[in-house]
Amino acid sequence: MLPFGYAIRNLMRDPARLLQAVLGSGLVVLMVMIAAAINNGMVGVLSASGSAKNIILLGAGSEESVLRSEISDRTAGIAESSITGLEKQVDVRAVSPEIHQMSFIAIDSNDRKQAFMRGVTPRALLVHQGVSVQAGHYVRPGQVMVGRLAWRRLGLPEEALQPGAEIWVEGTPMTIAGIFAAPGTVMESEIWMDLNDLRSMSLREHLSCVVLRLDTGEFEDIDLFTKQRLDLELAALRESDYFAKIAAFYAPIRGMTWMTALLIATGALLGGLNTLYAAFAPRIREIATLQAIGFGRRAILFSLVQESTITTLCGALVASFVAIGLLDGIAVSFSIGSFILSVSPSVAMAGLMTGLGLGLVGAIPPGLRCLLPPLPSALRSAG
Amino acid sequence: MNENNNVLIRCHELTKNYKKGNRLVTPLEKLDLEVKRGEFLALMGPSGSGKTTLLNLIAGIDQPSEGVLEVCGEDIGKLSRSKLARWRAAHVGYIFQLYHLVPVLTAFENVELPLLLSNMSRRDRRERVEHTLSLVGLDGRMHHYPKELSGGQEQRVAIARALVASPELLVADEPTGDLDREAADSVLQLLHQLVEEYDKTIVMVTHDPRAAERAGRLLHLEKGRLLETEAG
């Protein structure tokens, strides 16, 4: 084997080229880390948004989207009295009638934004147990309560959605009562208001859904209930299954993110190959000399791979610092919510593996190009 | 030692040809040659006469197209590329006209390279390298990089590198071709010393008649054939 120091010192032959290679590979790694963080964030927020203990009763045929669902107002009361095994707190059953809809909101008359509104009663907190009020108080009639990432989802300044501020919902002024958190879920991008306020504002006679929280009950019992009460035209879905379907809906978008990262990485890899060709080409004679001394091609190729791998791992390190400094904690919006980008161990590992892969794969073609010419002609080449 | 055992290099009807476009080029044709152990052989001839081709074949850098080539008791014409690399490491030291030192390694590290292919301990390697560098008169320049050495000193480092693993055979391709008169004399003196005192066998290609004079035997090649043999 050639000494490791040989690989290290070769890197310093041309500091400008080394810097170019480190930054180039760093950019590729950063792209992959961004793609991984977006993918993780989206999957994470969608999977955390649904609890397996929560069952959504929604209109039969509207299982793909609660927004399209309409069910009878009576459903909440009938479900509460008919279904056993629901969670209870101080004799109040965890049954939350809700209206979900997209509404226009504005902080001034000219700037309308479409927001996800959820009409709720105080019972919503019994089913959505991850929700906690961070500032102000829970929503009352005439008021709204905003998720802590709603400003990001709506593209508004954070100060615009503070308790006490006023917003217009479908042209009606409402006061912000509080800010709530629901860590890692899409609810953090929503705006909640009183169920009856939203019903009258949207001129709806029906609910979107009823959310139940199971204690000792089984999903199958609720499913049976929906099949027995054909008059209500209901379907039951585990909340976790509902969000799994949404996650599946977004899979092509996540795939596009990966594809973009992959295409950029491939382009950069080809560019990187040129850099390595240029770095190795003047060393054909030196490499031939090592072969003449008795070093095998494999040992020399291993040393060249060490060089490129050290370079790309340095790039990965730079990319990781950039990601931690600039990426970590950034809120990203998508159509149904927002999530926070995080440089998690899996994202860091994706970056590291990309750096490693670039180094391993990148050195082989230019390395072979230097190793394959016949020794006599390689020894005569310009050194 | 009988006559056969004393022969280090034996070429019989050695031919090398290769294709250049549609043309078959034969730089070496049916060459017969024997070189004894401890000989200092010089090869001379005009450009294209086949002397470097012969040197590369003897050093295991290239492989013959036809004929027999036995060096150090091995028919190296039949070895695979990887076996040939191992064989070179064990039996041959190559001295190049332009030294071919690795620029990022010090003189010490350059000389140490062939020993990395052996199982020698770090301490033994250090002792061997120091000894070899002192043999070529460079014990004070061990930690200098090639760019910090003169041409003559670089060639001495190259000789030390060729010598350090104690190969039976040293091959030198115009070892003085890039040196001034004084440095060339000094290098030739060193090669002569290696034959006389250390019983090395040297095959040297040269254009320089003064260098050829130092050899014990001189061969002239022309158009791939051996012309004459004379004492150096």
pLDDT for position B35: 95
Contact list, B172 vs chain A (CB under 8 Å): none
Least confident of A171-175, A338-342, B62-66, B140-144: A338-342
What's the rounded Cα separation, in Å, for the pair B215 and B188?
Answer: 9
Q: What is the mean pLDDT of residues A287-315?
A: 94
Assess A372–B contact: CB distance below 8 Å, yes or no: no
pLDDT for position A211: 96
Cβ neighbours of residue A114 closer than 8 Å, sequence gap 6 or more: A102, A103, A104, A105
pLDDT tens track for A181-195: 998 888 998 999 999
What's the rounded Cα separation, in Å, for the pair A362 and A22?
Answer: 13
CA atoms within 13 A on the CB side of B85: 16
What's the rounded Cα separation, in Å, for the pair A332 and A362?
Answer: 33
pLDDT reading at A364 higher than 80: yes
Contact list, A379 vs chain B (CB under 8 Å): 61, 96, 100
Is B100 in Cβ contact with A289 (below 8 Å)?
yes
Is B86 in Cβ contact with A6 (below 8 Å)?
no
Which ipTM was obtained for this model? 0.92
Least confident of A52-56, A108-112, A326-330, A357-361: A108-112
What's the rounded Cα separation, in Å, for the pair B202 and B168?
Answer: 9
pLDDT for position B229: 62
Splitting chain B (232 residues) into consecutive groups of 10 residues, what average pLDDT does each group show? 75 92 90 94 92 94 94 92 91 93 95 94 96 92 95 94 94 91 90 92 93 92 79 52
Assess B61–A contact: CB distance below 8 Å, yes or no: yes
Please measure the distance between the N-terminal and C-terminal CA atoms of chain B and give it in whole angstroms: 24
- Closest chain B residue to A11, measured at CA: B104
pLDDT for position B228: 62
Determine contact, residues B196/B207, Cβ cutoff 8 Å. no
Q: What is the mean pLDDT of chain A?
A: 90
Is B113 in Cβ contact with A290 (below 8 Å)?
yes
Q: What is the mean pLDDT of residues A174-183?
A: 94
pLDDT for position B63: 93
CATH number at residue B219: 3.40.50.300
In a domain, B1, yes or no: no
Q: What is the mean pLDDT of residues A287-300?
A: 94
Closest of A136, A123, A301, A291 to residue A212, by C-alpha: A123
Q: What is the mean pLDDT of residues A100-126?
A: 88
Contact list, A6 vs chain B (CB under 8 Å): 102, 104-105, 109
Extract long-range pairs of A257-262: CB within 8 Å, 24+ residues apart: A257/A35, A257/A38, A257/A39, A258/A35, A258/A39, A260/A31, A260/A35, A261/A31, A261/A32, A261/A34, A261/A35
Contact list, B103 vs chain A (CB under 8 Å): 13, 286
pLDDT reading at A139 higher than 70: yes
Is B102 in Cβ contact with A289 (below 8 Å)?
yes
Determine contact, residues B170/B146, Cβ cutoff 8 Å. no
In a domain, B19, yes or no: yes
- Closest chain B residue to A289, measured at CA: B100
Is A292 in Cβ contact with B94 (below 8 Å)?
yes
In a domain, B72, yes or no: yes
- Where do we find the tokens 């829970």? A138
Assess B128–A contact: CB distance below 8 Å, yes or no: no
Cα of B86 to nearest chain A Cα, Å: 6
Q: Which pair of tokens denotes residue A319?
A: 């990319």
Is A376 in Cβ contact with B53 (below 8 Å)?
yes
Determine contact, residues A163/A135, Cβ cutoff 8 Å. yes
- How many C-beta neighbours within 10 Å does residue A68 have? 13
Strand partners, B221: B226
Assess A290–B contact: CB distance below 8 Å, yes or no: yes
Question: Coil, strand, or helix at residue A76?
Answer: helix
- Owning domain of residue B53: 7-231
Assess B111–A contact: CB distance below 8 Å, yes or no: no
Is B56 in Cβ contact with A294 (below 8 Å)?
no
pLDDT for position A154: 86
Is B116 in Cβ contact with A3 (below 8 Å)?
yes
Name the burial class of residue B126, with classes exposed (0-12), middle (13-18) and buried (19+) by CB atoms within 10 angstroms of its CB.
Answer: middle
Q: What is the 3-state secondary structure (H, E, C) of chain B?
A: CCCCCCEEEEEEEEEEEEEECCEEEEEEEEEEEEEECCCEEEEECCCCCCHHHHHHHHCCCCCCCEEEEEECCEEHHHCCHHHHHHHHHHHEEEECCCCCCCCCCCHHHHHHHHHHHCCCCHHHHHHHHHHHHHHCCCCCCCCCCHHHCCHHHHHHHHHHHHHCCCCCEEEEECCCCCCCHHHHHHHHHHHHHHHHHHCCEEEEECCCHHHHHCCCEEEEEECCEEEEEEEC
Is B56 in Cβ contact with A376 (below 8 Å)?
yes
Residue of A4, A375, A377 to mutate, interface with B, max B Cβ within 10 Å: A375
Assess B96–A contact: CB distance below 8 Å, yes or no: yes
pLDDT for position A383: 60
Is A286 in Cβ contact with B82 (below 8 Å)?
no
Q: Which pair of tokens denotes residue A100?
A: 């979900």
In a domain, B2, yes or no: no
Determine contact, residues B201/B33, Cβ cutoff 8 Å. no
Question: Coil, strand, or helix at residue A137?
Answer: coil
What's the rounded Cα separation, in Å, for the pair A129 and A217?
Answer: 18
Assess A377–B contact: CB distance below 8 Å, yes or no: no
Q: What is the mean pLDDT of residues A276-288?
A: 89
Determine contact, residues B217/B229, Cβ cutoff 8 Å. yes
Assess A294–B contact: CB distance below 8 Å, yes or no: yes
Residue of B58, B104, B129, B157 to mutate, interface with A, max A Cβ within 10 Å: B104
Determine contact, residues A66/A362, Cβ cutoff 8 Å. no
Q: What is the 3-state secondary structure (H, E, C) of A310-376?
A: HHHHHHHHHHHHHHHHHHCCCEEEECCEEEECCCCHHHHHHHHHHHHHHHHHHHHHHHHHHHCCCHH
What's the rounded Cα separation, in Å, for the pair B111 and A113?
Answer: 74
Question: B30 — phi, psi (to 5°)?
Answer: 45, 55
Assess A289–B contact: CB distance below 8 Å, yes or no: yes
pLDDT reading at A127 higher than 80: yes
- Closest chain B residue to A292, measured at CA: B61
Is B86 in Cβ contact with A292 (below 8 Å)?
no
Cα of B189 to nearest chain A Cα, Å: 23
Residue of A289, A298, A307 to mutate, interface with B, max B Cβ within 10 Å: A289
Assess B95–A contact: CB distance below 8 Å, yes or no: no
pLDDT for position A45: 83
Question: Coil, strand, or helix at residue A145?
Answer: strand
Strand partners, A143: A175
pLDDT reading at A362 higher than 90: no
Assess B105–A contact: CB distance below 8 Å, yes or no: yes
Question: Coil, strand, or helix at residue A25?
Answer: helix
How many domains are contained in chain B?
1
What's the rounded Cα separation, in Å, for the pair A188 and B68?
Answer: 83
pLDDT tens track for A224-261: 999 999 888 999 999 999 888 888 888 898 888 889 88
CA atoms within 13 A on the CB side of B104: 16
Assess B89–A contact: CB distance below 8 Å, yes or no: yes
